[in-house]
Structure 1
Amino acid sequence: MPTKNNNVRGALLGALMTLLPLAPANAAGEKINLLTQNFPPFSMAVDGKNFAKEGAINGIDAEVVAELFKRAGVPYEMTLRFPWSRLQDLAEKTHGFGVFSLSRTPQREPKYKWVGPLSEIQIVLLKNPDSPIQLSSLEDAKQYRIGSKDGSVGSQYMITRGIEVQSSLIDTPAKLKAGQFDLWATTNPSGEYEAKQAGVGPLAVALTLSRVDLYLALNKDTPDEVVDKLQRTLDQMKQEGLLQQAARRYVN
């Protein structure tokens, strides 16, 4: 015959079981869908197209992030696609998603959980090497046509300072070369690398605006234990010099 204690234990166990589906996935079991863009030399499709998965993606940060998740034992799937603004929106609003390489601006800070930094970039205005444009400040640039990749850190830098930008999805270096705009708001080393790969470069730096760290940005529903484990693993990789080794494979 069941005892009163058995009945109580059974009731408690039943109540606990009803709560289990609401518990967050554990750090080892939650797969994260990682999104990135063609952002050379940090992430690139091997075939140069605007869609790639897993081993068809290379670049400094792509290598670092893949190794990071493997070392941390966190399941992941990596996809390269565009447009960049859409990827950021997916990572912000969709459980189980993350995006890299993203600058950690005050506007973006509350939207994600962050792991990094992965790399450093310089926000720059590039021009054709034969361009007579001379800039001493951002104010000087306002008189010129400025182009930038939609959703990029260069574009955001301009827009938040009230400067009009011509949006570009693809072939931005070629558009600068063709005179569709006078200056390209982008980042180095990615801008010069992209121009070189497109057969457009070298370009000239008209003005260096800022230096910015790049991060992995995770959806805010990502369990804190996953974020903490990834950060600890990345810190260890830095101590071992793995991030510097990855950078040297792509940038002299």
Structure 2
Amino acid sequence: MLNKIITHAMLSLLPLIAVTAQAADVVQVLTQNYPPFSMSANDKNFEREDGIEGIDKEVVVEMFKRAEVPYQMTLRFPWSRLQEMAEQQSGFAVYSLSRTAQRESRYKWVGPLSEIQLVLLKKPGNPIVLHSLDDARKYSIGSVDGTSVSQYLAKRNFDVKNVLSGAPTKLQAGEFDLWATTNPAGQYESSKAGVGRLEVAFSISSTQLYLAMNKETPDEVVQKLQSTLDQMRKEGFIDQVTARYLND
């Protein structure tokens, strides 16, 4: 009798165990407001997949669906916290993240999704002339906390004022002389904020953006996503999506 009770109890738990195991296999994909690569369609700091748009968002969604890897996508805030979650929590991933030497060993990588240029932007007509990056040390520099360009400058002992959002309007208001950001994201964000087109005071370097996955992600999942992305690139899917956002 006791064995029957135990068996019945175990059988009743099987659906719960199955649901839990299935949920554990779902990749939690995190992203931020980083136009034109990923952004809220409603100008919010929290969105589910249906409320997110952007170049890399469309590429990542297509990649997961083609690869038949279950996922859930969330746009959240702040950026530095999203990177920590993907690094420290099994089953998490984050995009669009530049693959720097500092970050290389922290994640498993799928990409590239896009390419960006690290730049220092200034207001139109600003007389600042930079012949080298070191020339920028005499000016106040603002950047969004946790971004690759902010980390790049901090590593080189630049005094950077880190902000959470609204960098174009803060630059326009004179809160800092130069905005350390990336293009085309910087110009896109400036246009959407009503600030207009900014001038490139100095171009630092270029880098590529990736999906960064927690290191416990099975290699076969990473490889499946990578091969799917490679096929999408061959088909011209990524170029088509990029053109729709940048050639309007």
TM over 0.5: yes
Amino acid at match of 2:48: K
What does 1:157-196 align with in structure 2 at a 5 Å threshold?
Answer: 157-196=152-191
Amino acid at match of 1:170: S
Q: Is 1:63 matched up with 2:58?
A: yes
Q: Distance in 2 between matches of 1:65 and 1:164?
A: 35
Q: Distance in 2 between matches of 1:77 and 1:213?
A: 24
SS of the residue 1:234 aligns to: helix
How many pairs are equivalent? 228
Shift of 1:88: 0.2
Q: Is 1:217 matched up with 2:217?
A: no
Structure with higher Rg: it is: 1
Q: Where does the alignment leave 5 or more consecutive residues of structure 2 unmatched?
A: 1-16
Q: Where does the alignment leave 5 or more consecutive residues of structure 1 unmatched?
A: 1-20
What does 1:4-153 align with in structure 2 at a 5 Å threshold?
Answer: 30-153=25-148
Q: Distance in 2 between matches of 1:157 and 1:249?
A: 30
Shift of 1:164: 1.2
Which residue of the other structure, out of 233, 236, 247, is the alignment partner of 2:242? 247
Q: Post-superposition, which runs of at least 4 consecutive aligned residues in structure 1 deviate over 4 A?
A: none
* Percentage identity across paired residues of the two chains: 61
Shift of 1:189: 0.1
Amino acid at match of 2:232: M
Q: Distance in 2 between matches of 1:98 and 1:176?
A: 32
Shift of 1:162: 1.2
Shift of 1:233: 0.3
Amino acid at match of 2:60: V
Aligned twin of 1:3: none
Q: CA RMSD in A?
A: 1.5
Shift of 1:161: 1.2
